[in-house]
């Protein structure tokens, strides 16, 4: 009797688990569809021949599908320039941003100094300001530094705006690394910077990867600041270039869609490559857990 009741309880439990799994999977599939569907529509538009751009056809591969829009993006626009400019600015921003953020975060994590708590709160406070508010002061500063239309101007503008978030992320991670590891390194013969460089940084790759990706995606997708600082069309980033494809009377939707898909390739590549650095648990085993 008891055995039969136990079996019934277990069966009911399994059924509940199966239902829960099905619901979770259903929700995830729905979320994926919401994310992927617009991309598929863009793909469909990019493949349409010129005379069928404005069409209500919902098929993924349209009738008479062609790569013409992709070819025209390369042949008729400065697309490769825009891509190069974006890559240079984005990679430089990410490297400078991570270098500045990691050293600042280490100082906030490990040293006591006047204004430490206030500084951290202030950094968080700057994230509350809407980006539009910062445009004018940024423009004035970059102009007075005579850095309009330069990579350096863009790198400064982008890296400082991502800095507060990166500092918080990295500080939080550094706080979890036992200080005894650095103390052991100091006794072993490093300087304080040596302990940071040889011990803390190699152990922080997951947080460094997150900070790098954050800087990368922010800079790669940014439009507003670029619009203000870059006026020379040969210095345009892809966001500005793409916007210019929208004419007053005619928008090249096929080229627009094709270029939109092409610019996702570098950012996806960076994401896929950095996923291996996002592995957690690097510090396991170093100290008694």
Look at residues 105, 98, 93, 64 and name the one whose alpha carbon lies nearest to residue 225: 93
User: Shortest distance, CB of residue 191 to other proteins, whole angstroms?
Assistant: 7
Residue 201 near residue 46, CB atoms below 8 Å = no
DSSP 3-state assignment of 251? strand
Q: Which is nearer to other proteins, 183 or 244 (CB)?
A: 183
Element housing 102 (H / E):
helix 79-110
User: Shortest distance, CB of residue 199 to other proteins, whole angstroms?
Assistant: 6
Radius of gyration of the chain, Cα coordinates, nearest whole angstrom: 25
CA distances from 88 to 83, 204, 218 (A): 9, 25, 14
User: Shortest distance, CB of residue 192 to other proteins, whole angstroms?
Assistant: 8
Q: Which is nearer to other proteins, 133 or 284 (CB)?
A: 284
Q: N- to C-terminal Cα distance for the chain?
A: 46
User: Shortest distance, CB of residue 281 to other proteins, whole angstroms?
Assistant: 8
Look at residues 95, 89, 131 and name the one whose alpha carbon lies nearest to residue 238: 89
Query: Exposed, middle or buried: residue 24 (CB in 10 Å: 0-12, 13-18, 19+)?
Result: exposed
User: Shortest distance, CB of residue 112 to other proteins, whole angstroms?
Assistant: 10
Binding site for other proteins (CB under 8 A): 178, 180-181, 183-191, 194, 199, 202-203, 282-288
Q: Which is nearer to other proteins, 143 or 192 (CB)?
A: 192
Q: Which is nearer to other proteins, 188 or 244 (CB)?
A: 188
- DSSP letter for each residue of 56-100: ----SS-TT--SHHHHHHHHHS-HHHHHHHHHHHHHHHHHHHHHH
Q: Which is nearer to other proteins, 53 or 195 (CB)?
A: 195
Distance CA 77, CA 104 (A): 41
Q: Report H helices in the chain.
A: 2-47, 68-76, 79-110, 116-126, 131-144, 151-176, 179-188, 192-195, 201-203, 205-221, 224-229, 238-244, 253-274
User: Shortest distance, CB of residue 279 to other proteins, whole angstroms?
Assistant: 12
User: Shortest distance, CB of residue 186 to other proteins, whole angstroms?
Assistant: 4
DSSP 246: B
DSSP 3-state assignment of 41? helix
User: Shortest distance, CB of residue 189 to other proteins, whole angstroms?
Assistant: 4
Q: Which residues pair with 251 in a beta bridge?
A: 246
């Amino acid at each position: 009797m008891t055995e039969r009741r136990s079996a019934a309880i277990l069966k009911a439990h399994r059924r509940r688990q199966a239902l829960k799994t099905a619901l979770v999977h259903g929700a995830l599939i729905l979320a994926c569809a919401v994310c992927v569907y617009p991309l598929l529509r863009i793909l469909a538009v990019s493949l349409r021949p010129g005379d069928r751009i404005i069409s209500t056809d919902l098929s993924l591969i349209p009738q008479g599908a062609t790569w013409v829009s992709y070819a025209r993006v390369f042949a008729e626009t400065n697309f490769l320039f825009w891509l190069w400019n974006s890559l240079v600015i984005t990679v430089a921003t990410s490297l400078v941003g991570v270098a500045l953020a990691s050293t600042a975060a280490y100082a906030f994590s490990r040293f006591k100094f006047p204004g430490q708590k206030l500084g951290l709160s202030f950094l968080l406070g700057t994230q509350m300001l809407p980006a539009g508010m910062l445009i004018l002061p940024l423009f004035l500063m970059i102009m007075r530094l005579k850095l309009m239309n330069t990579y350096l101007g863009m790198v400064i503008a982008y890296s400082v705006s991502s800095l507060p978030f990166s500092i918080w992320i990295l500080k939080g991670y550094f706080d979890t690394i036992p200080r005894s590891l650095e103390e052991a390194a100091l006794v072993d013969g490093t300087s304080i910077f040596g302990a940071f460089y040889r011990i803390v940084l190699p152990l922080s790759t997951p947080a460094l990867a997150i900070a790098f990706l954050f800087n990368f995606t922010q800079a790669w997708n940014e439009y507003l600041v670029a619009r203000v600082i870059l006026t020379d069309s040969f210095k345009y980033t892809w966001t500005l270039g793409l916007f210019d494809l929208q004419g007053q009377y005619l928008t090249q939707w096929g080229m627009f869609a094709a270029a939109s898909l092409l610019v996702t390739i570098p950012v996806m590549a960076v994401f896929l490559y950095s996923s291996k650095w996002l592995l957690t648990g690097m510090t396991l085993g170093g100290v008694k857990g």
